[in-house]
Structure formats: C-alpha cells, structure tokens
Structure 1
Amino acid sequence: MGEPASKILVPGPAITRSINLKFQGDWGQANFHRIMCWLTQEFCDRCGPRSRVGIFSMRGGGSEGLSLVNDGEMHIALGTPVGLMAASQTGDAIFGGQKFPQLRALAVLPQDDRMILGIDPKHGCRTFAEIREKKPPIKLVIGPDSPDSPTGWVSHRFLEAHGITADIIRSWGGEVVDTWCRPEQCLIPIKETSSDVTAAVHEAIMTPWWINLIDGPRKFIPIPAEPEALERLHKTTLLEPATLPPGYWDSLKEEIPALSFRDFLLFCREDLPDDVAYLLTWCLVETKSMIENQYHHINPNKTPLGYPFDPVKMAKTSIPLHPAAERYYREHGYLS
C-alpha cells in the first residue's frame, strides 16, 4: 500500500495517518495541474500508506476553485491573479457582493504576467487614443464578461477603462467574439494569416501564442495602456499598473504600460486540519526545487511559473494565511 510516512528521504514533518484530499487543478494541461502534481507527490510521500490525492479538472473560466473549496467539494485550489483574489474576502470587484471569508491562503506562487490589447497593423492604430479616434471595425477576441472567467471579466474592465466596450466596437461596424475562456482558445487560432480576427485582449503574455501574434506573420501591435486607465483599474479590479520592457518581443523597442495579471494564490478553507496545512506549506517551500527545475530551460522573464520561489514573497498573500501556514512561515523567519 506504499511506504509509511516515516520512510522519507528529506527530514521534516510527517503525518502517520492516511490522508485523502481533493485538489482543484485547471483544464488539464496548464500550470495549475502541474503545480498540483508536484504538491501531491511531495505531500503523499510524507503521509500514511493509504494516502491519496485526486486532482480534478475544471470546465469553466477558471474561478470554480473558490466556490468548490468554499462549499467543501475541494480541499485545495489555485486562483489568479493574486490581486483580484483579495476581493473574495469583501465581495468587491468580480465577486459582485458574494463573500468567501472562510478561505485561507497557503502560499503565493510567482508568475510575472500582464494583460494587453494587441491589434492588427492594418487598422493603423498604435495607441488607444488613435483607436477611439479612428473607430476601426475590428474583430476582437476576448474572454466572456462573467465572474466565472477572471480573464474575461478583467479584459472587459480593461477596455472600459480605456473608453471602449463591446457595444462601442459593434457601433463601429466591428465584431466581438467572447465565447472562449482559455488563452490558447483565443490566441492560437488568430496567429494564422487566414484568420479574420484583428484584435485580442488577453493575458498569458509569456506564451508562444503572444510571440507568434506580435513577432510572427501577423505582426500585431501591442497597445500601451493609458496611465489614467490603469489608475481606474487599480480601484475597480485591485490589479496594479505594470510595464513590459523593451525587447520583451523582438519588435518591442520601448517600454509600454500594461496591467499586472501576476501570481497564483494557493488556498484552502479555514477548517483544513492544522497538520495538513502545515505539511502542505512545508512541502511548498522545502521541496520547491522539484517544481522550479521543470522550468529552468525557460527564460526567467518569460516562464509561466516563476523561479526561484522566494518564501518571503510566498507568505505575502492577498487573503489571510491559514494559521498553520502562518506558523510555518514565522517559525522559519519568512514572516515577521
């Protein structure tokens, strides 16, 4: 039935009883699932011989983990971006009054992401001001404006902060495609020169999909976010202003403002047993090299999971830490 918890290679905490947990991953092929696979192995290595963890896929836009953990269907989930997750405690922003005050954090995991608008150069627009002035009949791909899709919800707020909405685009003779949630569903089809989509708002900025759009045959133009719009977005979404440096893409010659869409929040419910929460947190920090090594072949500025993990930053969560996680960080000097 497996090795007992006492027979492990790395000294550290162990749970002698067998534990069964349910982890909420992503759709199956993205970062959440990979993170959960790493954590599952390290956790079960240190628990009783019949310990099992199930990693479940999601079907919607990415926010299911909140309600599933809140309702007790899942024990652990991930959410992104971290700034937006802070509103789960108050019901603000995307949550529309629904509060999740019983959720507790275990760690923040790094991902240096941004949200931008990219547009086909045939429209002759390089700024939001030019877009508003020229009113091009763009065909825009964007996530759904729904709390079920953090990416889609923020994308619509991003455009609104710049004075553009789906209805306004349609009034210009344009079209809005807002039925896809996942980044690759939105971005992969439009890299082809035969695609009639001429604009996209999305995150996952470090992926080959954006490289293909910006530096590939279609040569989309990344539109700089406006400072005033970023200030409004900080108030409405809790997400911070950010930038993309020159050279991020081969064709990007100067720094441009963008909206931060960074980091993953690993969370549970406040009633997760203390020894389980403590061991999970220990695994997150003490075995982090096992997941970091899977990304070392990727440029650290463009990796979908940042490295190295910094335990001090991991402890700076946007919702309260689980008491056992907080105890771990304090005991090891990562939280003052």
Structure 2
Amino acid sequence: MGDDTAGGRPPEPKIGRSVTLHLRGDWGTANLHRVCGWISQELTDRCGPHTRMAVWNGRGCVDAVRAVGRGEVHVALTTPAAFAAAALDGRGVYAGEGFPELRALGVVPQRDRLVMGVHRSWDITSFERLRARRPALTLATSVNDGENHVGLAAHALLDRSGVDVLGWGGRFLSDERPFETFAHVKAGRADAVIHEAVMLPHWQEFGGDLHFLEVERDVLDGLRGDFSWPEAIVEEGHFPGSPRFRTLDFSDFLVMTRSDLPDDVAYAIAWVLGETRGTIERQYRHLPPERSPVTYPLDPAAMGRAPIPLHPGAAAYYDALPAT
C-alpha cells in the first residue's frame, strides 16, 4: 500500500507484484458486469505490470455465491446483497453446503424492491382477497430453478402467503431476465407479476394497470427469521396511482470474496470502490438517482456496511475513512 494520505483519505494501494484475478458478474451487459469492469480497470492500474483480470459471465444470484465459496473465482457480485447471509451457515438454498469463509469487500448501492402486482381488472388489493378469490392468474416472474433470486423469492413469497397459482388453475410465465417478464405484462400475456428492478421505466408504462399487494407481517417475519431476507417500503406514488406498501427488500450489489484473498488485494478493491466511485457514477448520472440502477452518489462509509463480515483487508480501508 502507498502512504498518500492527502486530505485524510485512506492511502492509495500500490501492489508491486503482478496479480491474476477472476471476477464473476452477470449475463454480460448489465450492472454487475459494469462494476466488475470498473474494479478490473482501476485495480490493474495499481498492480504489477503483468497483472491479468478476467470477468466471467454469471447470473448474479446463488451461482455467484457458490462460485466464490467453492473457490471457482476470487470475487463475485450478487444481488440482493442480504440474500448472501444465509450462505454463511447453510440456510435455505444453501442447506448442506454453507460457506462460512465468505467475506464482503463492499456494497454498491441499488435501492430496489421485489413487488407483486395484479391487474386491476381482478379487483384484488391484498393477499387476503387473493386467497379468498383464488383466481386463475397468468403470473410472470423469473425461473424457479434454485439459483435465480427473483424466482426463488417469488415462489417463497407465494407459498408462505398461501397462494397456489397452479392449484387454482393458473400458470407461470417464467424467464431468466426482467425484460422478458416486463414484455409479458406490457403485451397482456400476463395479468400478474412478481419482480424487481422497480427503478426501470417499464414499471411506469404498466404499473398504473396493477394493484400492488402489501406482504403480510407474518410472511415478512418468517422470511427474515429463516433466511435473513429484509423488508422495505415502496413509497406512495412510486408506481402510478399506487399507495405506500411493504414488501421484500431487494437492494444492493454485494462484492464478495473468501477470507483467503490476500489482505492487500482486498484493501485495494475496497479502496477502488470507495475512492474511484466517480468512474461508475458517471455511467448513471443521466438518470435521476431514484430511477438509476446504481443509487448515486455513493457513500464509502455506507459501502462498508455489508450483510456478511468484511474481509480484514477491506475493513482496513473502511476503518481508515475520516469520521463524518
């Protein structure tokens, strides 16, 4: 590490040796891959001359956590950040293969929610009314294959809310990415939806046609207790004509590694996240912060508050931040 503490900032890292690092992002063109590219560029500038960085495609969900935990890559990103906590002690989808050595390098903020909406033509405004009516819905969401976080959470939410889409004569339209799901809703192929990425403009196009259902207290408490999945609020008017309601939090990109990553590399990545944040912010400033897939301006101190333990090298960076 260097010794430049100008302005009271943590010292810039200087790693003299060449480093080979494997990172895992998303399908290839979305936000997690952008963050991987940002880290790779800035880290390469601060390591030895023969440094090599590779970014592997992934899904940014359970697959990313397992890839890091199994040592297939050095660093991976997953979203929502809180869903990785269950991997530490092998709960939920990680039963039988926990990863207690999982560590955080930082969190890139994305204010997001998982929401369920039902077309207003059904006149269903709550899960209680949904259970009473037992409609044959065509519900669009992500694939429920044990890896996709949206599909995993959507089906857990339905099951714990006593909703039996197939048993009531309905069906699922299941896809990998949100854009296919949004297309089903917009085209009228689906009359209900469970998904995230609530900052995207697609929701403004069809959100006014939906009643959004507040998740019941016992369901939220159960999901938090069993899997550490947090809750959050969608404010009034976020969707056209929608009141304020409570649902699952689906926020933030978690930058993960294992405890055996060298301390100086972990420090350097955390430093890159906090001190070169303008590099990534510039890619989103054409959007209002509340409608951006990365919620800027980034706050380095907040980026160090992760749902899993920080790597000691990363903690050294966040601990060195000036008090505010």
1:222 equivalent in alignment to 2:212: yes
Query: Any stretches of 5+ residues in structure 1 without a counterpart?
Result: none
Does the 8 A contact of 2:104 with 2:256 survive in 1?
A: yes
| Equivalent in the alignment of 1:312 | 301
1:289 equivalent in alignment to 2:282: no
Instruction: For residue 334 of structure 1, report the CA deviation from its aligned partner.
Output: 6.7
Residue aligned with 2:77, SS: strand
TM-score relative to the length of structure 1: 0.88
* CA RMSD, 1 decimal: 2.1
Deviates more, 1:272-281 or 1:226-235: 226-235
Residue aligned with 1:69, SS: helix
1:175 to 165, 171, 174: 171
| Equivalent in the alignment of 2:112 | 113
| Equivalent in the alignment of 2:194 | 201
Instruction: For residue 61 of structure 1, report the CA deviation from its aligned partner.
Output: 7.0
Instruction: For residue 96 of structure 1, report the CA deviation from its aligned partner.
Output: 2.1
Residue aligned with 1:278, SS: helix
| Equivalent in the alignment of 1:187 | 182
Residues paired across the two proteins, number: 316
| Equivalent in the alignment of 1:137 | 136
Aligned AA (1:96)? A
| Equivalent in the alignment of 2:41 | 41
1:262 equivalent in alignment to 2:258: no
Residue aligned with 2:165, SS: helix
Provide the C-alpha distance between the structure 1 equivalents of 2:77 and 2:60, rounded to a whole number of angstroms. 13
Superposition misfits of 4+ residues, deviation over 4 angstroms: none
| Equivalent in the alignment of 2:6 | none
Provide the C-alpha distance between the structure 2 equivalents of 1:310 and 1:116, rounded to a whole number of angstroms. 26
Provide the C-alpha distance between the structure 1 equivalents of 2:21 and 2:140, rounded to a whole number of angstroms. 37
Does the 8 A contact of 2:263 with 2:312 survive in 1?
A: yes
Aligned AA (1:332)? L
1:245 to 235, 244, 248: 235
TM-score relative to the length of structure 2: 0.91
Residue aligned with 2:301, SS: helix
Does the 8 A contact of 1:142 with 1:152 survive in 2?
A: yes
Does the 8 A contact of 2:86 with 2:94 survive in 1?
A: yes
Provide the C-alpha distance between the structure 2 equivalents of 1:202 and 1:96, rounded to a whole number of angstroms. 25
Residue aligned with 2:280, SS: helix
1:80 equivalent in alignment to 2:79: yes
Cα 1:169–1:214 change in 2 (3 A) is same
Deviations 1:274-293 (A, max 9, x none): 22111111111110111112
Provide the C-alpha distance between the structure 1 equivalents of 2:206 and 2:111, rounded to a whole number of angstroms. 19
Does the 8 A contact of 1:315 with 1:334 survive in 2?
A: no
Residue aligned with 2:232, SS: strand
| Equivalent in the alignment of 1:277 | 266
Deviations 1:270-322 (A, max 9, x none): 11112211111111111011111221222212211111222222111111111
Instruction: For residue 50 of structure 1, report the CA deviation from its aligned partner.
Output: 2.1
Instruction: For residue 249 of structure 1, report the CA deviation from its aligned partner.
Output: 2.1
Instruction: For residue 163 of structure 1, report the CA deviation from its aligned partner.
Output: 1.3
Query: Any stretches of 5+ residues in structure 2 without a counterpart?
Result: 3-8
Aligned AA (1:172)? W
Instruction: For residue 133 of structure 1, report the CA deviation from its aligned partner.
Output: 1.2
Instruction: For residue 30 of structure 1, report the CA deviation from its aligned partner.
Output: 1.1
